[in-house]
Each structure stands twice: as structure tokens, then as C-alpha cells.
Amino acid sequence: MKKKTVFRGIATALITPFKDGRIDFDAFGRFIDWQIENGINALVACGTTGESSTLSDKEHRAAIAYAVQRAAGRVPVIAGTGSNEFDYAVDLSKYAVSVGADAILVVTPYYNKATQNGLIKMYSEIADAANAPTILYNVPSRTGVNIEPKTYAALAEHPNIVAFKEANGNISKIVETMSYVRGKMDLYSGNDDQIVPLMAMGGIGAISVLSNVLPRETVSICDRFFAGDVAGAAELQCRYHALIDALFSEVNPIPVKAAVSAMGFSENSLRLPLTEMEEEHKAKLLSLMRKEGLAV
């Protein structure tokens, strides 16, 4: 069973710019254009970095539809549609597909802490209902539940479940998972500090926070790897380690919103319970950005 690959390389987990308490669509559009002009391979709207859990239903739908419209087919657009409320996840997934999203990204249900059987049933039914390429999103540090390797193996048999974004940080678990699903699902790193290690295990890219500020350079990590220059890819992975660390010195997307604001793309505006970056952390982040020649 040959499944569709949604993208190879780097998809930016886009921030959602705010102004005066609302989505700043002008800033969002400029940022999407800049990302595409700088060679990004795909875009993710309304993921964790996009503060999806703070968006109203109306805002969530509007942001997805706008990202699809603004990208205008230049790169694939993946819509974050996961929820801990099953019917809402189904409805939002179907909506995203109806407005042209190329795939959906569905996070494990937070707070509910589903069993592994519950995950299999939930993901299978969402993938059936959306009838579109579905990417699983595993981030147990946020949701309280991990997709176990044998659960991935079961889900890999579903024709619409094409890939998974892995952010559990456990390389041993990822190796075990790939021993079951290689050739059945694509793997994307969900952690910027593990792009090269996960590609070494058969991954084909990452859904990235780093690429919000360095899209072309983050894509270069994958390009070098795909070209057979593993040492060169590893060199870039190491070069950007300090910047990646600074972008996660506080909970995402607090630092990356400060970074994008410093680059002049949007206001440094977040929604509670997130608050602006602490000055000590911000100073270090901006110092590292200046070393990379960013306009801050």
C-alpha cells in the first residue's frame, strides 16, 4: 500500500500573530509569504506553536482557511485539528479538508489520557471521517499520553494515516517504532534538536519551530542529509543547537514569538496563560539571533 507523502524536508509550525487581542491576518500573510520565499517545504497552521488551544472555534477555522488561501498551492498546508473533544476534532478536520488543507495534524487528546486502544479507535475514526492524509502528533510532555510503538504499528495499517510527528524525545522508542512502521508511515521530527538523528532512522524531515526564524537554514539541514552529506547536516544541527535551546528556554511559543517580533513581523503578543519572555532569556535569544545575522 503506497501512501502519499505530504512533504519532504521542513514544515514550519507557524506562529499565530495577534494584535489588539485578535489574529493579525496582515502579519500572518506577510509571514507566510516570507516563509515560502525562503524555501520552506510546507506550513503547519494552528499547531502548538500557533497557540491552537487558545483560539476560538471561529478563529481556528479562519486561520486555517486563510493559510490555505495565502499559500495558494505554493507549498502544502497542514492544519492542526486535534482536540480532547472527539466530535470537535472530527468536525474541524473535515472543515480543514473542505477549505483545501493538504493534510491534518492530530495531536493526542490532552487531559483525557487515553488508553492505547482509545488512541487507535480515535485516530482511525478521525482519519476515516476526514478522508485525507492524516499525521499523528505525539507530544507526551504536553498531553500526558504517549503513542506506544505497537500502537503506531496498528495505526500504520490505516490507508489515510500517512505520517507521524514524534516529539517524545525518546530515541530508543523511536527506533522501536520504526522497526514496525518503516515503509508504512513517514516520520517527522517534532524536536528541532533531533532532526538529523531521526532522519538517520528513516525520517524525512521535521515540523519545526526553528524555521520560524531560519527557514532556509533549517531546510538546509535536510537538503544536506538527502544529498548524502550527513556530516554537513550534522554540522548544521550542532551549529544551531544553542539557538534551538534558547527557543525552548521557556514554554513554546513564548520565545519564538519574541524572536519573530524582534524580526519585525508581528507584535510580541500572546494569550494567557502564556506571558512575555523573561528579560534574561530574551537577551540571550536575541544575542544568538544577531550572531546568525538576523535583523534584530
Peptide bond into 109 cis (omega under 30): no
3-state DSSP call for residue 134? strand
Q: Which residue is it, cell 479507535?
A: 121
Q: Is 21 left (phi over 0), alpha (psi -120 to 50) or beta?
A: left
The neighbour count for residue 98, using CB atoms within 10 Å, is: 11
**How many Å is the maximal CA-CA distance in the chain?**
52
3-state DSSP call for residue 38? coil
Which residues, including other chains, have CB under 8 Å from residue 55's CB and lie 6 or more apart? Answer: 16, 23, 46, 63
Catalytic residue among 95, 123, 152, 165: 165
The neighbour count for residue 72, using CB atoms within 10 Å, is: 12
**Contact between 81 and 106 (Cβ < 8 Å):** yes
**Rounded distance, CA 142 to CA 108, Å?**
9
Q: How far is CA 5 from CA 58, 127, 215, 252, in A?
A: 30, 15, 20, 27
**Helix residue ranges, H only, the chain:** 25-37, 57-71, 86-98, 116-130, 140-143, 149-155, 171-181, 195-200, 215-226, 230-239, 241-247, 254-262, 279-291
Beta bridge partners of residue 187, listed in sequence order: 164
Residue 137 annotated in active site: yes
Peptide bond into 197 cis (omega under 30): no
Catalytic residue among 95, 123, 137, 240: 137
Catalytic residues: 137, 165
